[in-house]
Structure 1
Amino acid sequence: MISASLVQFDVQCLAPAENFGRIHDFVALEAAHGAQLILFPELSNTGYVEPLVPGGPMVSDVPHFGAALYEACAAPDGEEIKALVTLAARHRVHLVIGLGLRDQLRAGVMRNASLLIGPEGVLGQYTKVHQWQNEKLYFTKGDRIDTFAALGTHLGMQICYDIRFPEITRILALRGAGIVTSVWASFGAEATPVADGALFIHRAYTRAVENGVFFLSCNRSGSHGGQRFFGRSCALAPDGTVLGALDHDMEDVLRVEIDLEAVTRYRSFTGIWADRDPTLYEKYLSPDRSDSRRSPPEKS
């Protein structure tokens, strides 16, 4: 069994020192509760971008938000990441954490990333491929989908909007993932009631049962610029069983147990991998397939 904690906390905009301080406190607390894997939301160090929605107002009192965001982002080889590695080693835990990261070489270039950190160091990094609305103003998109060996399986990472593209989770599963993590900073207008409180469960359920993976969905809480983050973190087993879910948007921690043997049990029972027909799918998915493969037009 793997004990996992999904930390649904309120990230402060452009306040990395405060946010990292709270992250360290949460790790110590969850490790004391026996956690082996601890998740933190998207952009846990920087807070979300402004304007939060297209055409919305700038909220932070800074001369240039892009420059301020870059300053709040972590350097890949900087002290903040080194401190997280030390923290993971001290508590013998693995962390999956959404972070704004600076480019290793190019000043001003930023990435919306998810890092896998273990006692041995940084084990993997994923850069968000599908960028939501105004994120495109600031972040350079990712171009890799990888999994990383950890906790007796392979772990794959995605971020927020990526979940709407099933190819991401399928590729991670094809590359051996038994656990897929999804970190979020998903929000809606503060004055508008949540239309579907189980939305995150629906999405996680679909990706879990399609691929036979554990799907861990960790969103943030708090309000900013007239928008309220939805919270409602959840964890789903390969057969769609809800291991745990928070039904609110307040700060909280979701603690669940993961039995990796459930991956084998579900996949061998359903046959979802044996029954796939990628050769057939390729006829329709290949972007350069010739017109000769298409059905001829009907005669009038």
Structure 2
Amino acid sequence: MRAACVQLSVRECDVFNNKRRALQLSSDAADSGADIIVLPELFLTGFCYDIEPERYPYPSLIPFRALSVDSGAIFVGSIMSSSDRGTHNMGFCLAGAEMGFYSKTHPFGDEKKHFIPGGIIAPVKISGLSIGLEICYDMRFPEVARKLCESGADLLVTIAQFPAERIHHWRSLVIARAIENQIHHIACNACGSAGGSSMIVGPGGEVLAEADDEECVIIADIDPGERDRLRRSITCWEDRRPELY
């Protein structure tokens, strides 16, 4: 499986240019043969609360759905989503006409004034893959990744707008979530207003690809079977004692 992370400079409220650049870079990733293409948190709008949130089936994602159909790639990102309950930071996994969702569990800071926290932590099952999706601040809570992995995630994906001043936290957390769950971790951050340093990490904590702080696409080939081989070799997963914790 070939994984790609589109590290995008997300400009708040500039939907036209955010979409244009996201499509350009996503097309580059698709041309490279990527099977999964990951975009940052709220990659179309940023945290622009003046924009009306969308409702399903999310018209702004139509060109990404078309690119998914043409390339066969799964797309992952998040969008401001409206429901009868309010507004969600809604993570999505998109494969052609098929979509699955995860609502951000832990809004951070002022986000709490605008987003309803999600109430379900479960992998998104799409196109034969079980994706353990979490959004930015969720990564600081190891219980989220652990529950996703206990529920059968084939890989972890974190999408974020993680700030540059805490990018050392980001790198440590991305690698830790991979090591402690013995699973591949695709962590796609925004750049520009955020700190970049998107990463693709193997289940043993090895960094397979890493970005700097500029717009780019990073790509790595990953073998989902490596998760099970590592868990058999280093038996942390088998040796857990959840009845005590």
Task: Bin the TM-score by the shorter chain.
Answer: over 0.9
The Cα shift of 1:217 comes to 0.8
Moved more, 85-94 or 159-168: 85-94
The 5 A counterparts of 1:136-215 are 136-150=112-126, 153-188=129-164, 194=165, 198-215=168-185
The 5 A counterparts of 1:55-204 are 66=49, 68-69=50-51, 71=52, 73-103=53-83, 105=84, 109-122=86-99, 124-150=100-126, 153-188=129-164, 194=165, 198-204=168-174
Q: Within 2, Cα distance between the matches of 1:14 and 1:201?
A: 27
Write the deviation string for residues 94-136 of structure 1: whole angstroms up to 9, x where unpaired: 0011222222x46xx21112110013421x1111111110111
Opposite residue 84 of structure 1, the aligned amino acid is F
Match of 1:244 among 192, 202, 209: 209
Output the aligned Cα RMSD. 1.8
Name the structure 1 match of 2:224. 260
Opposite residue 38 of structure 2, the aligned amino acid is L
Write the deviation string for residues 236-289 of structure 1: whole angstroms up to 9, x where unpaired: 11111111112x2111111111111110111111112221112222xxxxxxxx
Q: Within 2, Cα distance between the matches of 1:78 and 1:251?
A: 25
Name the structure 1 match of 2:241. 277
Is the CA contact (8 Å cut-off) linking 2:199 and 2:210 kept in structure 1?
yes
Q: Within 2, Cα distance between the matches of 1:26 and 1:170?
A: 31
Q: Within 1, Cα distance between the matches of 2:171 and 2:230?
A: 19
Opposite residue 258 of structure 1, the aligned amino acid is I
Identical counterparts, % of pairs: 29
The Cα shift of 1:177 comes to 0.7
Q: Name the SS of the counterpart of 2:119 in structure 1.
A: coil
The Cα shift of 1:137 comes to 1.2
Larger Rg: 1
Gapped runs of 5+ residues in structure 1? 50-65, 189-193, 224-228, 282-300
Opposite residue 93 of structure 2, the aligned amino acid is L
User: Which consecutive segments of 4 or more residues in structure 1 shift more than 6 A?
Assistant: none
Aligned residue pairs, count: 245
Is the CA contact (8 Å cut-off) linking 1:100 and 1:110 kept in structure 2?
yes
Q: Name the SS of the counterpart of 2:244 in structure 1.
A: helix
Q: Within 1, Cα distance between the matches of 2:170 and 2:113?
A: 26
Q: Name the SS of the counterpart of 2:75 in structure 1.
A: strand
The Cα shift of 1:150 comes to 4.1
Write the deviation string for residues 192-221 of structure 1: whole angstroms up to 9, x where unpaired: xx57x5443311111111111111111001
Q: Name the SS of the counterpart of 1:95 in structure 2.
A: strand
Gapped runs of 5+ residues in structure 2? none
Could you tell me the TM-score, scaled by structure 1's length?
Answer: 0.77
The 5 A counterparts of 1:35-46 are 35-46=34-45
The Cα shift of 1:152 comes to 5.0
1:216 maps to 2:181: no
Distance 1:102 1:84, change over 3 A: farther
Is the CA contact (8 Å cut-off) linking 2:157 and 2:187 kept in structure 1?
yes
The Cα shift of 1:81 comes to 2.9
Q: Within 2, Cα distance between the matches of 1:187 and 1:263?
A: 30
